Amino acid sequence: MASARVDASPIKYHAPIPGSLPAPERELRRRFLEEAQVVPGGDRISQCLQCGTCTGSCPVSYAMDISPRMVIALFRAGQIEEILRSRTLWICASCYMCTTRCPQSIKITDLLYALKRTAIDAGLYPERFPVYLLSKNFVRVVNRYGRNQETLLLLLYYLRNPLGLLRMLPLAMAMLRRGRIALFPKKIKGVGAIRTILRASKDFELPREKEAVPYTEGMVGYRAVG
Amino acid sequence: MEYLYYPGCSLESSGKPYGESLTAVFRALDIGLRELEDWNCCGATMYMSVNEALSMAISARNLALAEQAGFRDLIAPCSACYTVLLKTNRFLRESPELRAKVDQLLGQVGLKYSLGVKVRHPLDVLVNDVGVEAIASAAKRSLEGIAFAPYYGCQIVRPERGFDDAEFPLTMDTLFQRLGARAAYFPLKTRCCGGMLMTTFPDVCLQLVKDLVECAAENGAQCIVTTCPLCQVNLEGYQKRVNKMFGTSYQVPVMYFTQLLGVALGCSEKELGFHRNLIPWRAPISVLAA
């Protein structure tokens, strides 16, 4: 997968020219749809009724800048960049309530994951960006030891945020006293196997459900999602 | 009867009492529990936000090892592991192309997986394999006098079609009510606790934790019973910060369902890891006297 950064630095709100999308938007759209095709049933996104059940069911929608319903609306309107730059993607705690309740069986949580991957891939994320940092460190720790080491993960994470570490201290001490913190990381025997899988999966891509539709300038709204 | 057991990373540190009480409960019921040898991380939800394909291959290694060990059921007590392993199994079953690729990757490390493993949650195994009646007849104490809030959390009932309803599961309610406890009215039983948001967006997450603890306390629950290591840490470890943030004074004990079950089965508090809980819970005298 290409991981070159998309040049889309300052937020540009696209002039609403019917039937045309600016080039960066088309590129992001292509990348997102590619990711979405990995999700089984990912193409159900075209069936959205805009009923708002997802937003109403979401326990964290109160803290989002763009609600889950609006995510799909913006996607249709050709404003993916705005979605990728939002807080919404990173606030989703992936509890799958929206997916369970959606009357159109849209895999909203999985599509948000697809959007997250698109945003990371394109280097588009908010400046102070805790989720990506945590994910990255998580992957680092697992690749090294074969298992997650909570202590190490949190230490790596809070390196960038010493104030946060300070706030965690009372809880950490209480957990330590009760033997709920593992001080020394354990490496599994098969860590070599994990690394082999890692190396071999460099160009490992999940099969797509459908071939990507080639994009032309006129593809906005319903036409863009088939 | 013997089951293969995939503890998951949390049960080795913050979720230690979950692992201890789970082992104690299975021992008390005389069911074998064998740890999967050299298991690795399931990938959790975080792996998926970086590289989904890789997460599948890594998690399939565990399933392959389980199959090699000759077991049909694999018990995964952590909700995140449970969901991820189930999802991997389903993806592999539904997509022959993906399976071919994962087979090829596993082949390079001398493993093979032919979809012969079923991923199970211990709650499912206890209620549906062992049976509520069998547990009730093995019980040494009645849980009468305990009002609990049954908190399932999100990922053991969603998104994979699991063993209970996605919004109003009743497995835990049924089990403990049969043992004499009373399930408090707790409509937020599958509401999300925020999970890893506690690290990334604590203010958002504290609000969720407050809603849950408040709902339990106001409906007369003496304790919250959970099935997930992350829910337990969020609800128990952060009550102090919730109190500070919202000016409340909650002190609701939060325990694993296996801890409460162990009390009914006559295990000692030490065996069940109660000394590791941050908010102390004492079983009512009526329970312990029996």
Given the structure tokens 């992350």, which residue do they identify? B230
Residue type (1 letter), B132: V
For chain B, say whether A181 makes contact (Cβ under 8 Å): yes
Interface of A with B in 103-122 (CB under 8 A): 107, 109, 113, 116-117, 120
Partners of B17 on chain A (C-beta within 8 Å) are: 180
Banded model confidence at residue A7, pLDDT cuts 50, 70, 90: low
Confidence of residue A150 (pLDDT cuts 50, 70, 90): confident
What is the predicted pLDDT for the residue at A16?
Answer: 54
Mean predicted confidence (pLDDT) in B179-201: 93
Residues B258 and B126: their CA atoms lie apart, in Å, by 10
- Alpha carbons A185 and B56: distance in angstroms, whole number: 24
Q: Tell me, what's the pLDDT at B17? A: 95
ipTM computed for the complex:
0.88
CA distance B134 to chain A (A): 32
Question: Measured between beta carbons, which residues in chain A are less than 8 angstroms from residue B51?
Answer: 117, 139
Is 70 exceeded by the pLDDT of residue B15?
yes
For residues A48 and A3, the model is more confident at: A48
pLDDT at B25: 97
Instruction: Round the average pLDDT of chain A to a whole number and report it.
Output: 79
Work out the angle between the directed axes of helices B202-218 and B239-246 (0-180°, nearest 10). 90
Closest approach of chain B CAs to the CA of A15, in angstroms?
31
Spans of all domains in chain B: 36-120, 138-289
Inspect the interface and report whether the beta carbons of A147 and B40 lie closer than 8 Å.
yes
Look at A140 and A211; give whichever has higher pLDDT.
A140
C-alpha–C-alpha distance, residues A39 and A107, integer Å: 8
Taking the CA atoms of chain B, what radius of gyration do you get in angstroms? 19
Lowest mean pLDDT among A210-219, B149-158, B232-241: A210-219
- B138-289: CATH topology: Rossmann fold (3.40.50)
Q: CA A133, A136, A141 angle in degrees (round to 5)?
A: 120
Burial letters A23-39, b for 16+ CB under 10 A, else e:
ebbbbbbbbbbbbbbbb
Measured over the CA atoms of residue A168, residue A170, residue A175 and residue A181, the dihedral's sign is positive
Q: Which amino acid is at B154?
A: C
Residue extent(s) of CATH 1.10.1060 domains in chain A? 23-126
Say how many CB pairs under 8 Å bridge A and B.
189
Instruction: Note whether A79 and A66 are within 8 A (CB).
Output: no
Q: Name the residue facing B98 among A60, A200, A207 (closest C-beta).
A: A207
- Search chain A and give the residue with CA nearest B19: A180
Chain A positions touching B91 (Cβ under 8 A) are 40
Nearest residue of chain A to residue B201 (CA atoms): A91
What's the pLDDT tens digit per position in B201-231?
Answer: 899 999 999 999 999 999 999 999 999 999 9
What is the distance between the alpha carbons of residues A30 and B251, in angstroms, rounded to a whole number? 51
Q: Report the alpha-carbon distance of residue A48 to residue A77 in Å, rounded.
A: 13
Mean pLDDT of A1-27: 61
Higher pLDDT, B22 or B103: B22
- Quote the pLDDT of residue A164: 81
The predicted structure's pLDDT at residue B130: 95
Alpha-carbon distance of A49 to B98, in angstroms, equals 31
pLDDT at A210: 45
Region A99-128: mean pLDDT is 86
So what's the pLDDT on residue A209?
Answer: 46
Dihedral of CA A64/A69/A72/A76: which sign?
Answer: negative
Q: What is the pLDDT of residue A152?
A: 84
User: What mean pLDDT do residues B181-195 have?
Assistant: 95
| CATH architecture, domain defined by A23-126 | Orthogonal Bundle (1.10)
For B282, other C-beta atoms within 10 Å of its C-beta total 10
Tell me what pLDDT residue B57 has: 83
Q: Is the pLDDT of residue B150 over 70?
A: yes
Region B4-27: what's the mean pLDDT?
94
| Residue B204 to residue A193, Cβ atoms within 8 A | no
Place of tokens 């990373």: B9
Mean pLDDT (chain B, rounded) = 91
CB < 8 Å to A170, chain B: 240
What average pLDDT does the segment B17-21 reach? 96
Cβ density class A88-113: b for 16+ within 10 Å, e for less: bbbbbbbbbbbbbbbeeebbbbbbbb
Of A61-70, B51-60, B96-105, B145-154, give the lowest mean pLDDT range.
B51-60
3-class DSSP state of B259: helix
Residue B72: pLDDT band with limits 50, 70, 90: very high
Model pTM greater than 0.90?
Answer: no
- Pairwise CB contact (< 8 Å): A97 & B197: no
Nearest to A180 among B13, B49, B159 (CB): B13
Please tell me the distance from the alpha carbon of residue A96 to that of residue B88, in angstroms, as a whole number. 17
Query: Residue A160, Cβ neighbours under 10 Å: how many?
Result: 13
pLDDT in tens, B159-185: 877 899 999 999 999 999 999 999 999
- Please list every residue in chain B whose beta carbon sits closer than 8 Å to the beta carbon of residue A117: 49-52
pLDDT per residue as tens digits for the range B74-109: 999 999 999 999 989 988 888 787 788 888 888 888
Topology annotation, domain B36-120: Glutathione S-transferase Yfyf (Class Pi); Chain A, domain 2 (1.20.1050)
pLDDT the model gives residue A211: 46
Q: Is the pLDDT of residue A38 over 80?
A: no
Report the pLDDT value the prediction gives residue B116, as an integer from 0 to 100: 93
Furthest-apart CA pair in chain B: how many Å? 59
- The answer to whether B40 contacts A194, with C-beta atoms less than 8 Å apart, is yes
Does the pLDDT of residue B197 top 70, yes or no? yes
Q: Considering chain A, what percentage of its residues have pLDDT values greater than 70?
A: 79
Which residues on chain B are in Cβ contact (under 8 Å) with A175? 14, 237, 278
Q: For residue A102, give Cα distances in angstroms to A12, A137, A216, B95, B139.
A: 31, 33, 30, 24, 42
8 Å CB contact of B40 and A186: no
Mean pLDDT across A213-220: 52
Is A38 within 8 Å of B52 when comparing Cβ atoms?
yes
Q: Distance from B117 to chain A by nearest Cα, in Å? A: 20
